[in-house]
Amino acid sequence: MTDQAHSKLDAKQLELLLRRLKKTKAPTAASSVDTIPLADRSQPLPLSWAQARLWFIDQLDHDASKAYHLPLALRLDGALDAAALIAALNRIVARHESLRTVFRLDDGEPVAQLLPADSGFALQIVDLATLGDEAQRAEIERLAAQEAVAPFDLAQGPLCRGQLLVLGADSHVLLITQHHIVSDGWSQGVFIAEVRALYHAFSQGEDDPLPALPIQYGDFAVWQRQALQGDDLLQQADFWRSYLDGAPAVLNLPFDRARPAVQTHRGGTLPFTVPEAIAAELRTFAQRNKSTVFMALLAAWGLLLSRLSGEQDVVVGSPLAGRDRSELQGLIGFFANTLALRLRIEPDWTVAQLLQAVRDSAMQAFAHQALPFEQVVDAVKPVRSLSYSPIFQVMLAFNNTPDGGDEELQGIRFSAIEQLRDTSHFELMLNLTDSGDKLSGALTYNADLFDAVTVARFAEYLQTLLAAVLRGDEQPLSTLEILSTAERHTLLADWNATAYAYPRDSGLVSLFEAHVEATPAAAAVVSGDVVWSYAELNTRANVLAHTLIGAGVLPGQVVALSLPRSAELVLAELAILKAGGIYLPLDAVLPGERQASMLA
């Protein structure tokens, strides 16, 4: 579909098309088959492309693998049938091969091996019933945090485990942790739904009510490896090479600390909510411009990243469910794919022009989502570094699929407990869910790069920018504010209140010499191991000033000065002033032509 055709779609049509594109791959020889065939189990099962990446990360840095843990916490209120719950968990492990898969080397290559169907779910029961309310809450938080980061052994398994915390006769918390290599966000929803269904049946003495799965994850992995070949693979790879050609390899944001030589995954989370009024206006804005809420958010997020980095070319990652075929909908496994969305931002564009450009770019990318991200990286061959992720380092995740909410079954109320992550896959990620009124979620960040206060400031910028964008489609981007009224006042007034009373009839040299008389022994200059008092600095400056005068420096004469930041630089500046001259600082790293023009 051409860009011109895109522009003729209204917002509702575009939303439907976008959802279809998210679920539809480019046609291939393999995808023309009605269903994914069952794999030959007499041969070693390969890893999917996404699994291979996580396996490699684990081999490279086992500690970094903790960033790919998927924790889940459920509160169970009511008279729990523990035996029925354990039977439900065991049945899920037997039902989904992915949850009893381990990854071992076969002839030097990683392969997936299945543990027996009766392996059972690795569940630990912890009794907290004797603790008081406050002690219970503290212990739940401690155990949840500990459970979420406890290491997995990919070769030995299990790669899905849990703890049942007994708070009382009618109160429990179920902690579940899965490694991303066998699960994803969608899979967590499948897991919860199946726990509810199986518990409901087993607690009443009924049989497993769930339909048989048409395939298993291993079948998908084999099929995926064969799906894109020949011309189809070349066409997909050619698109991504062209789409990302010339894009910056790395986005440099205003970090609080420099990137380490090897990327870390210590993270922090800041809750973020777009208020109902702004969210409603955002939906109207997107519809008016024949776009979607996701694209409107992507435009604002990209514009903020552009402002923070000074770049006009920004690449943002966005996750996709990867469940493009009906037989994948009910499987637990790592199907999620990540799409690289390139945003070009010109300051003289209007808001409407930015959204149109974002929309066109996103539609192109969605139409070529068949290639797994791992193969996109192989095709594009970006500059690689252990210090940052390839192609993009910032993400936007948007979920507009309503969740199932709380549910009561057989006297048990299942409700999800929100957990804040202390790991981060990427340097900065905006994760939002459209609940129908407000947009809520969080900013997740790499805590080795950013302080919490910095990310909180970014959140304020985004809120201010969203409100500014909505004031008019024809506003030039260069006029949009990101500073709140309070921060603008701080920068322009509070931090600029530098007025200081001093004798206006005295020059800098006289003021300095008066300070020498008042505090001769106080430290005036500290540079590394060098510490000069005011008296010592004054003596040295006097000696150098006389040398300059002897060399011909006259009052009002410009003296060029090229020294690194040091005690000697301060000495030279003071000496020139004492000699009556005017110092002209020259940076040695400037091109020769620039230095010559400054001296002319």
Q: What is the 3-state secondary structure (H, E, C) of 84-123?
A: HHHHHHHHHHHHCHHHHEEEEEECCEEEEEECCHHHCCEE
The structural domains of the chain, with segments of one domain joined by +, span 1-34+265-325+332-404+418-499, 36-227, 508-599
**Cα 406 from chain centre:** 28
- 514: its two tokens: 């008066």
pTM over 0.85: no
For residue 537, CA distances in Å to 145, 310, 522, 584 come to 56, 41, 11, 20
Residue linked to tokens 């679920």: 23
Residue 494: what pLDDT? 85
Label residue 22 by pLDDT band (50, 70, 90): very low
Q: Closest Cα partner for 456 from 437, 475, 470, 443?
A: 443
Residue 31: what pLDDT? 42
Decide if domain 508-599 falls under CATH 3.30.420.40: no
Q: Where is pLDDT greater, at 60 or 244? A: 244
Whether pLDDT at 521 is above 90: yes
Whether pLDDT at 392 is above 50: yes
Q: Where is pLDDT greater, at 408 or 459? A: 459
Tell me the average pLDDT across 390-406: 79
The reply to whether 36-227 shares the fold of 1-34+265-325+332-404+418-499 is yes
Residue linked to tokens 């179920």: 174
For 523-566, the DSSP string reads EEEEETTEEEEHHHHHHHHHHHHHHHHHTT--TT-EEEE---SS
Residue 282: what pLDDT? 96
Distance CA 199, CA 164 (A): 15
CATH number given to 1-34+265-325+332-404+418-499: 3.30.559.30
Tell me the average pLDDT across 224-229: 83
Distance CA 243, CA 419 (A): 37
Residue 13: what pLDDT? 47
Whether pLDDT at 33 is above 50: no
CATH number given to 36-227: 3.30.559.10
% of the chain beyond a pLDDT of 70? 93
Whether pLDDT at 312 is above 90: yes
Residue linked to tokens 């002897």: 550
Residue 34: what pLDDT? 65
Tell me the average pLDDT across 249-253: 95
Decide if 70 contacts 180 (C-beta within 8 A). Answer: yes
Whether pLDDT at 20 is above 50: no
Whether pLDDT at 442 is above 70: yes
Whether pLDDT at 12 is above 70: no
Residue linked to tokens 């909510």: 273
Express each pLDDT in 47-90 by its tens digit.
999 999 999 989 988 888 888 999 999 999 999 999 999 999 99
Decide if 143 contacts 73 (C-beta within 8 A). Answer: no
Q: Where is pLDDT greater, at 30 or 380? A: 380
Q: Closest Cα partner for 421 from 389, 444, 401?
A: 444
Residue 8: what pLDDT? 42
- 355: its two tokens: 């959204």
3-class SS of residue 192: helix
Express each pLDDT in 89-105 by its tens digit.
999 999 999 999 999 99
Residue 499: what pLDDT? 80
Whether pLDDT at 16 is above 80: no
Residue 35: what pLDDT? 83
Whether pLDDT at 600 is above 80: no
Dihedral angle sign, alpha carbons of residues 341, 347, 351, 354: negative
Tell me the average pLDDT across 296-320: 96
Residue 414: what pLDDT? 85
Q: Where is pLDDT greater, at 118 or 4? A: 118
Whether pLDDT at 489 is above 90: no
Express each pLDDT in 180-215 by its tens digit.
999 998 999 899 999 999 999 999 999 999 999 999
